[in-house]
Amino acid sequence: MATRTRVYPSRLPAEFTLGQDEFIDGYLDAKPGEHISLIGPNGGGKTTLGMKIMGQLHRLYPQTTGVALVMKPHKGPRGAGRGVTGDPTVARLARALKAPITREWPLSVGQKTLHGKEETPFWVLWPRHSDDFRLDRVRHAALFESALLDSYNKGRRWIFADEVFGLTNELRLQSVLEHIWSKGRSMETAIVGATQRPAGVSRFMYSSARHLFLWRDPDADARKRYAEISGMDPKALVALTDGLRRHECLYVHPESQTLACLTPGGFLADPRPDNSTREGARPST
């Protein structure tokens, strides 16, 4: 008997396509404690979308606070000018969203007072990098772990883990991340996790996420992992993500089987054209 091959559409019908910003403002319905995962290759726009989501989550739930964990170097190449950082997207969006940068965790009393809870959508924890990355690994692991544990214990937090692969494999924070993915919901603490290297991240990043954003990824290992998203047809996800253009992503809400194609959003203007960083406290040396 001939088997019928199912044909999956490579694009969603036009009515399921909307702008990224319109989606964030009008449709994103992540409740405190619901994990969010952003998965896609280099340069797709994960940090951009993740930072915008962090701003919106605080607007939706002012009783929650957030912390974004940034692993890239806090400054760019020598001689490139004051204020140039290893991740211009983070620096620009932190300023645009009025999210203060801190180099330390826990926050000092001065930092907390300077930026009242109401106005601060989330903190950006972006540690300094020295000339020895081996020493930095130990120090950064301790800092990020402290922010993760503190967020879990206090509850009602959104943690933007921008590079889950690095936090897991370089800083060895897998067990604390998995603890939050599996038990954070009870504390209303959730991970907004992003990765460009799906092969090396915990299965919880797929199975425990209530909201997923997937970019087109030709990598075979990356595509295999769609099978770990509970309740979704992995072949349909492969076909749909294959139809995405650069900077577009597919929003997936497994519980309601909702899919939407998000087209690139607007560029949030930098309030400080000189590109200098804004820190929540006097810089520590």
Ligand X SMILES: Nc1ncnc2c1ncn2[C@@H]1O[C@H](COP(=O)(O)OP(=O)(O)OP(=O)(O)O)[C@@H](O)[C@H]1O
Least distance in angstroms from the C-beta of 231 to ligand X:
26
Q: Which does 196 bind (CB under 5 to 8 A by kind): Mg ion, ligand X, none?
A: ligand X
Q: Which is nearer to ligand X, 65 or 196 (CB)?
A: 196
Closer to ligand X by Cβ: residue 43 or 110: 43
What element of type H or E holds 35?
Answer: strand 35-39
Residues 74-113 that bind ligand X (CB under 6 A): 89
Q: What's the closest the beta carbon of residue 277 comes to Mg ion, in angstroms?
A: 17
Which of these ranges, 44-52, 73-81, 128-136, 277-285, lies near ligand X under the rule CB under 6 A?
44-52
Please identify which residue in 35, 46, 52, 216 interacts with ligand X, judged by CB under 6 A. Answer: 46
Q: Which residue is nearest to ligand X (CB)?
A: 45
Beta strands of 51-161 (E only): which ranges?
Answer: 65-69, 101-102, 123-125, 157-161
Alpha carbon distance 36, 160 (integer Å): 9
Among 23, 32, 39, 45, binds ligand X (CB under 6 A): 45
In Å, how far are 15, 166, 185, 278, 281 from 107, measured between CA atoms? 45, 23, 24, 15, 9
Residues 14-43: x/- map of binding to ligand X (CB under 6 A)? Answer: ------x---------------------xx
Q: Is 141 left (phi over 0), alpha (psi -120 to 50) or beta?
A: alpha
Q: Which of 56, 196, 202, 241 binds ligand X (CB under 6 A)?
A: 196
What is the rounded CA–CA span in Å between residue 95 and residue 261? 28
Identify which of residues 145 and 162 has a Cβ nearer to ligand X in the complex.
Answer: 162
Tell the smallest beta-carbon distance from residue 180 to Mg ion (Å): 20
d(CA 102, CA 108) in angstroms, rounded, equals: 10
CB of 265 to ligand X, least distance (A): 5
Site for Mg ion in 47-76 (CB under 5 A): 47
Closest CA to 155 of 123, 111, 185: 185
Q: Which of Mg ion, ligand X, none does residue 280 bind to, with CB < 5 to 8 Å depending on kind?
A: none
Q: How far is CA 252 from CA 5, 113, 145, 170, in A?
A: 24, 39, 29, 29
**Whose CB is nearest to Mg ion?**
47
Shortest spacing between CB 163 and ligand X, in angstroms? 7
CA distance 172 to 141: 7
Nearby residues of 6 by Cβ (< 8 Å), 6 or more positions away: 235
Of the candidate spans 46-54, 74-82, 108-116, 133-141, the one that interacts with ligand X by CB under 6 A turns out to be 46-54
Query: For residues 25-57, b (16+ Cβ closer than 10 Å) or e, as one string?
Result: eeebebebbbbbbbbbbeebbbbbbbbbbbbbb
Backbone phi, psi, residue 129, to 5°: -110, 135
Binding mask 260-279 for ligand X (x = CB under 6 A): ----xx--------------
Mask for 31-50, x = binds Mg ion (CB under 5 A) = ----------------x---
Whether the CB-CB separation of 154 and 131 falls below 8 Å is answered with no
By the criterion CB under 6 A, which residues form the site for ligand X?
A: 20, 42-48, 89, 196, 247, 264-265
